[in-house]
């Protein structure tokens, strides 16, 4: 692989589609027998014509409700699953056709599963991965020390994996995914079930990997705080299709994320009017502004316009919770319409 310049696409999914074929079992007394003789086959399209790319050194969140196709997409990007149609390129390789070469370019963490050996101390598991990835011993020790500094692994890495807490185990899995120094990291719900302290430690670790080490990170999560704090860009999929490829603001605009600015006027009797803003409520000196009928301006613009027009003694900003916005996005059944 040739070195990728920052921002240059390093992960590309083009018209990616995955159809699963299953055999369903009939109910009833003779269900098992009839299923054996004449099985009922069903097809489910988990991912349908999804296209997007991730630039080198970028951190992108892949969002969507349960069953939207996020994990299937990640599994195709990592080469575990072969797409039914469309193509994937990761660091110049088709990951499914070049699994072993691709493995040297990527790290992966699946938060609900561990790649460590249950009965071995975590450090022994990491040493086995060192041998699987044929990492030079000196480089291994150097990286282990660095990962220990960032993730506090040495406090528990001599414990057997089955005895680790979830947070400890996932931190070891993060270390396992980065031992071979991959330029691209796929994280499927890495902070699921963690307490807020460990979550923040993991987020800080991911920020470090992107900003200091230049890694490319694609993560899936249901934690909207995580998205707000980490992701520069989001790709939203639902019903197997791409809905939004843009920023969180794009999602807010698309799915009715709104705000109110409640100000206290220095002059309680003043006439109130601000271009482009709607007065939602007035109670004496307290006036609530909302966006105009066309949904503009942005919150920042609105504040600037209010302060330019009126003398105020207090201000309270109320924004729709990001989770409310995402709930609307997840429930939305409109045809996908990519926002670039």
**160/229 with CB nearer other proteins:** 160
Q: Show Cβ contacts of residue 94 under 8 Å, excluding neighbours closer than 6 positions.
A: 79, 87, 88
Alpha-carbon separation of residue 37 from 24, 26, 34, 41, 151 (angstroms): 13, 11, 5, 12, 54
**Tokens 């059944």, located at residue:** 333
Residue 308 beta carbon to other proteins: minimum distance, rounded to whole angstroms = 38
Residue 13 beta carbon to other proteins: minimum distance, rounded to whole angstroms = 18
Q: Show Cβ contacts of residue 178 under 8 Å, excluding neighbours closer than 6 positions.
A: 107, 143, 147, 185, 209
Side-chain-side CA neighbours of 252 within 13 Å: the count stands at 18
Per-residue exposure over 189-216, b if at least 16 CB sit within 10 Å of its own CB, e if not: bbbbebeeebbebbbebbeebbeeeebb
**119/321 with CB nearer other proteins:** 119
Residue 2 beta carbon to other proteins: minimum distance, rounded to whole angstroms = 8
Residue 302 beta carbon to other proteins: minimum distance, rounded to whole angstroms = 34
Judged by DSSP in three states, 88 sits in strand
**30/118 with CB nearer other proteins:** 118
**43/66 with CB nearer other proteins:** 66
Residue 173 beta carbon to other proteins: minimum distance, rounded to whole angstroms = 10
Residue 51 beta carbon to other proteins: minimum distance, rounded to whole angstroms = 23
Q: Show Cβ contacts of residue 272 under 8 Å, excluding neighbours closer than 6 positions.
A: 265, 279, 282, 287, 310
**114/201 with CB nearer other proteins:** 114
Helix-then-strand count for the chain, H and E = 11, 13
**140/330 with CB nearer other proteins:** 140
Q: Which residues lie near other proteins (CB under 8 A)?
A: 1-6, 56-57, 66-67, 71, 75, 78-82, 91, 99-101, 103-106, 108, 110, 112-115, 117-121, 124, 128, 130-140, 143, 160, 180-183, 211-216
């Amino acid at each position: 692989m040739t070195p990728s310049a920052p921002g240059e696409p390093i992960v590309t999914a083009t018209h990616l589609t995955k159809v699963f074929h299953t055999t369903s079992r009939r109910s009833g007394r003779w269900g098992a027998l009839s299923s054996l003789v004449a099985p009922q086959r069903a097809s489910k399209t988990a991912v349908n014509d999804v296209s997007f790319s991730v630039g080198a050194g970028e951190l992108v969140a892949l969002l969507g409700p349960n069953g939207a196709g996020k994990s299937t997409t990640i599994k195709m990007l990592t080469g575990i699953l072969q797409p039914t149609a469309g193509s994937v390129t990761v660091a110049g390789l088709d990951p499914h056709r070049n699994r072993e070469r691709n493995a040297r370019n990527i790290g992966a963490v699946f938060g609900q599963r561990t790649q460590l050996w249950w009965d071995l101390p975590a450090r022994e598991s990491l040493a086995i991965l060192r041998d699987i990835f044929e990492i030079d011993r000196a480089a291994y020790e150097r990286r282990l020390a660095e990962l220990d500094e960032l993730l506090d692994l040495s406090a528990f890495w001599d414990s057997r994996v089955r005895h680790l807490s979830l947070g400890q185990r996932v931190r070891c899995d993060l270390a396992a995914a980065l031992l071979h120094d991959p330029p691209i990291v796929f994280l499927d719900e890495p902070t699921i079930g963690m307490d807020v302290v460990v979550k923040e430690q993991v987020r800080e670790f991911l920020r470090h990997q992107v900003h200091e080490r230049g890694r490319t990170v694609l993560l899936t999560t249901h934690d909207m705080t995580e998205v707000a704090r980490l992701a520069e860009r989001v790709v939203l999929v639902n019903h197997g299709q791409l809905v939004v490829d843009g920023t969180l603001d794009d999602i807010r605009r698309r799915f009715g994320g709104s705000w109110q600015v409640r100000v206290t006027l220095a002059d309680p009797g003043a006439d109130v009017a601000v271009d482009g803003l709607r007065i939602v409520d007035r109670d004496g000196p307290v006036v609530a502004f909302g966006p105009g009928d066309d949904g503009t301006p942005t919150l920042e613009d609105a504040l600037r316009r209010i302060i330019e027009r009126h003398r105020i003694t207090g201000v309270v900003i109320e924004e729709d919770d990001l989770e409310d916005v995402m709930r609307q996005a997840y429930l939305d059944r409109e045809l996908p319409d990519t926002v670039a």
